[in-house]
Amino acid sequence: MGDPDLNLRHLQLELSRIDVLLRRELLRWQRAGQSPADDFRGLYLSDEQAASLMERPLGASWGQTVALSPEEKRDFAAAFVKATREAERMARRMRQQNTPPRLDVLTAVCGLDRFERDVFLLCLAPALDLRYRWVYGYLQDDITRRYPAVNLALDLLGEPAGVERLSLLARFADDAPLFRWRLLEKSAAGDEHAPLLAHALHPDAGVVSWLLGDYRPGGRLAPYARLLPPGDADEFPPLLLTDDSRADLERAVAGPEPPLIVLHGPDETARQAAAHFVADCAGQPLLRLDLGAVVADGQKPRVALELTVRDAALVGALPYITGWDAVLTGGVPRDDLLTILCDQTRLAIVSGRQDWRAQGVARDKVLLWMEFPKPGYARRRRLWAHFVERYLGRPPADLALDVDAPAGQFVLTGGQIRDAVATARDDALRRGGRTDSAALFAAARLHSSPNLAHLARQIIPRYTWEDIILPPDQMKLLREIVATVRHRPQVLEEWGVGRKLAAGAGTAMLFAGEPGTGKTMAAEVIAADLALDLYRIDLSTVVSKYIGETEKNLERIFSEAQNSNAILFFDEADALFGKRSEVRDAHDRYANIEVGYLLQRMEAYDGITILATNLRANLDEAFTRRLQFIVEFPFPEEEYRRRIWETLFPPDVPRAPDVDLPFLARRFRLAGGSIRNIIVNAAFLAAADGGPVTMAHLLHSTRRELQKMGRLVNERDLAWDDDGPKG
């Protein structure tokens, strides 16, 4: 603000007024016998000094017991008037140049009177010149006391001694301007019972740096606040905001009464863009406070918020409070914090993920609520195109890049899309190649924040369409599922089906069939084709006997999945989704509540949910009506068993001439999972024998698999010699 040299010159002139008062007080002390030659002064009290103390008037210092001569009084008064006039002359000159002194701005913003302003200057002096520390130690009879105490401030500024002087103690109360605005801080030097007069006064570091023309959040605010210039069009392009959002923000800035703008929703980048857009419209910087970090570090959010509001007023910035969720309890913020923001007269911004209610606060300030959900498909596609052109230099069409696929498959925020494009570019440079569509898709998958590992087990897809053997109708249905997922954005958003006809944007399906019939393999095939992460949730570990715990476990899974764009594969679904029984006791009632909660949560989930069950008959009809697809996995007949044997047998595994896979398919009625186990075990037996896999190895492994399944073993079925089967 203004010429820094003029501001510093004005500050120097104001301090010269304080110098006059200090010189007068020093002379009084020396006249009273407080000799600087006494090495032990301040460390003992003589009999004469003790008697003199009792003779002093109420509130008087050593020096005030000594009268100055009329000439000395006149000289000090003239010097003080001269210093005051010079400071006022400099202030007028600066105001004529439309650059009022910072000290005047501080006085106006914080509502200080002349006495309070001089107290602040008195405390500011040691931060600018160390000689004041020695002078204050001398005048306070304690060389270790380098900052002025309340008593010294009254000695210098509160004449005459007596009751009138003590009435000024109210200016040092916690709710007085100097302390309400936290310009000064009181400390009792380890003595919690020390009277107010003995409290030392320290200036706030942030205010000191601002007065010197180099503002930076100081003291307790330093780790959590940052002054941001108006928004960067590259980092926060207007495309991150909808036209309606920009129009609402422009009206808020131009309105007669500056509101408190409340930004909420999952798209943090859009919320940041909105704050910077407001700063651009207002032509002011942002003073951002990370309130979440303040709370996480165990600091006092009220103090941090008051300091932010004060500093924003001083530097002409807009208070921008992020991490607001940290001070919400039951969707309601602390009333004292909301009061601070509503009482200040400037436009301010609060940002957090959660929606909340304002209650318990009498306020005139208007709250402007703005929600920022994750962008829809059309905006995601535009954002992908924008950031591709920014980071790769040309539009996607010129680079033969497909941005429709990642835009449709991954529900990412604008910031995640920006980071994904940058990651794809970085990876291409590392490999020495060019960024292609596959790299964009892989980067989108990386930045979809899959944090489900602590709640579920990730399955790395190993199978493709060529690996799965099912009847034609089931294969066709699985491909329809993939097509549905791929075209969800077009149908639900662009064609408007989602506005009325679809309950949600997610896709829920049921895979039903006996163990080993291909349910997990089908989930892997779908995940591989869509290039999405697949997480398996064992519902036996989710269901809890304790009331409410099952719902909490499900909520954690779905909430995390909402941010991960992952496929949720619930195995053994019948453990939870059995037929809702007639309510006979409390257990039945809460079991039904669990099912109802899952139905509600699945409808709200925008991703892909696959439920696998061995017994479809156990599923509730109300539940199945909410499923978009139901795929029956039949037990494979002989022809399909033969194809499963041939498909699963790895081509690199050495095979003896006597291996007869059609015979195995015909003789043993086994599902694909059992066939896989037999092939794996036979390969280990062959490796141990040092030769290829033989029919004997396969039959022995079949025997073990049947025993494991608890099925009767017919030895005639397993009989084999060099000429073939014996049975």
Ordered DSSP codes for 74-101: HHHHHHHHHHHHHHHHHHHHHHHTT---
Query: What would the two tokens of residue 238 be?
Result: 């207007």
The runs of H, that is alpha helices, within 261-359 are 268-282, 291-296, 301-315, 335-343
Which range has the worst mean pLDDT, 80-94, 205-219, 671-685? 205-219
Q: How far apart are CA 414 and CA 246, in angstroms?
A: 16
Residue 588 has a pLDDT of 47
Respond yes or no on whether the N-terminal peptide bond of residue 515 is cis (omega within 30° of 0): no
Name the residue type at position 276: H
Chain centre to alpha carbon of residue 64 = 58
pLDDT at 68 over 50: yes
**Contact indicator for 562, 514 with CB cutoff of 8 Å:** no
Name the residue type at position 102: R
The rounded mean pLDDT for the chain is 84
pLDDT at 591 over 60: no
Query: What would the two tokens of residue 685 be?
Result: 């037996």
Residue 126 has a pLDDT of 93
Residue 639 has a pLDDT of 92
Name the residue type at position 358: A
Residue 13 has a pLDDT of 93
Higher pLDDT, 61 or 428: 428
Residue 157 has a pLDDT of 87
Domains of the chain and any CATH numbers:
4-211 (no CATH), 219-371 (3.40.50.300), 377-446 (1.10.8), 457-633 (3.40.50.300), 638-725 (1.10.8.60)
Query: What would the two tokens of residue 17 be?
Result: 């007024």
- Please give the average per-residue pLDDT across 527-544, as a whole number: 81
Q: How far apart are CA 127 and CA 11, in angstroms?
A: 13
- Please give the average per-residue pLDDT across 92-105, as a whole number: 92
Residue 145 has a pLDDT of 84
What is the rounded radius of gyration, in angstroms, for the C-alpha atoms of the chain?
A: 39
pLDDT tens, residue by residue, 613-666: 887 766 667 677 778 899 999 999 999 999 999 999 998 999 998 888 998 898
Residue 580 has a pLDDT of 46
Q: Phi first, then psi: give them for residue 263, nearest 5 degrees.
A: -100, 125
Using alpha carbons, select from 188, 124, 189 the residue that is nearest to residue 153: 124
pLDDT at 709 over 90: no
- Please give the average per-residue pLDDT across 572-587, as a whole number: 53
> Which positions ≥6 away from 521 have C-beta within 8 Å?
463, 467, 468, 672
> Which positions ≥6 away from 683 have C-beta within 8 Å?
650, 653, 693, 697
Handedness of CA 437, 440, 442, 445 (dihedral sign): negative
Residue 299 has a pLDDT of 92
Q: How far apart are CA 154 and CA 148, in angstroms?
A: 10
Q: How far apart are CA 139 and CA 156, in angstroms?
A: 10
Q: How far apart are CA 63 and CA 352, in angstroms?
A: 57
In the block, which residue shows the tokens 């892909």?
608
- Per DSSP, 505 falls in state S
Confidence of residue 290 (pLDDT cuts 50, 70, 90): very high
Query: What would the two tokens of residue 96 be?
Result: 């004529």
Chain centre to alpha carbon of residue 301 = 16
Residue 584 has a pLDDT of 46
Residue 581 has a pLDDT of 45
> Which positions ≥6 away from 666 have C-beta within 8 Å?
638, 641, 642
Residue 590 has a pLDDT of 46
Residue 362 has a pLDDT of 80
pLDDT at 717 over 90: no
Torsion, Cα of 267, 269, 274, 276 (10° steps): 170
Using alpha carbons, select from 326, 292, 492 the residue that is nearest to residue 411: 492
Name the residue type at position 449: S
Strand partners, 613: 512
**Contact indicator for 580, 625 with CB cutoff of 8 Å:** no
Beta strand residue intervals within 177-239, DSSP E? 184-187, 200-203, 225-228
CA angle 342-345-346, nearest 5°? 100
- Please give the average per-residue pLDDT across 522-541, as a whole number: 86
> Counting Cβ atoms within 10 Å, is residue 124 exposed (0-12), middle (13-18) or buried (19+)?
buried
Query: What would the two tokens of residue 638 be?
Result: 């002989």
pLDDT tens, residue by residue, 118-158: 999 999 999 999 999 988 888 887 778 889 999 899 988 87
The percent of residues in the chain predicted with pLDDT above 70, rounded, is 84
pLDDT at 573 over 80: no
pLDDT at 49 over 90: no
Confidence of residue 93 (pLDDT cuts 50, 70, 90): very high
Can you tell me whether residue 599 is helix, strand or coil? helix
In the block, which residue shows the tokens 């009329």?
70
Higher pLDDT, 451 or 138: 138
pLDDT at 520 over 80: yes
The two beta strands, 332-333 and 328-329, are antiparallel
Q: How far apart are CA 276 and CA 119, in angstroms?
A: 38
Confidence of residue 38 (pLDDT cuts 50, 70, 90): low
Using alpha carbons, select from 671, 665, 658, 668 the residue that is nearest to residue 712: 668
Query: What would the two tokens of residue 20 be?
Result: 């006059």
Which range has the worst mean pLDDT, 349-358, 570-579, 587-596, 704-713? 587-596
| CA 98 vs CA 92, 95, 682: distances in Å | 10, 5, 91
Strand partners, 351: 263
Confidence of residue 312 (pLDDT cuts 50, 70, 90): very high
Residue 583 has a pLDDT of 42
Which range has the worst mean pLDDT, 307-321, 353-367, 654-668, 702-716? 702-716
Q: How far apart are CA 326 and CA 297, in angstroms?
A: 11
End-to-end CA distance of the chain: 100
* Helix, strand counts (H, E) of the chain: 32, 18
Q: How far apart are CA 203 and CA 668, in angstroms?
A: 88
Beta strand residue intervals within 308-453, DSSP E? 318-322, 328-329, 332-333, 348-352, 367-371
> Counting Cβ atoms within 10 Å, is residue 224 exposed (0-12), middle (13-18) or buried (19+)?
buried
Q: How far apart are CA 189 and CA 200, in angstroms?
A: 8
Q: How far apart are CA 297 and CA 303, in angstroms?
A: 13
* DSSP calls for 273-288: HHHHHHHHHHT--EEE
Which run of H or E residues covers position 667? helix 661-667
- Per DSSP, 492 falls in state I
Residue 457 has a pLDDT of 84
Q: How far apart are CA 667 and CA 713, in angstroms?
A: 12
pLDDT tens, residue by residue, 238-284: 788 888 999 999 999 998 889 999 999 989 889 999 999 999 999 99
**Contact indicator for 414, 269 with CB cutoff of 8 Å:** yes
Confidence of residue 487 (pLDDT cuts 50, 70, 90): confident
Which range has the worst mean pLDDT, 123-137, 458-472, 510-524, 702-716? 702-716
Can you tell me whether residue 262 is helix, strand or coil? strand
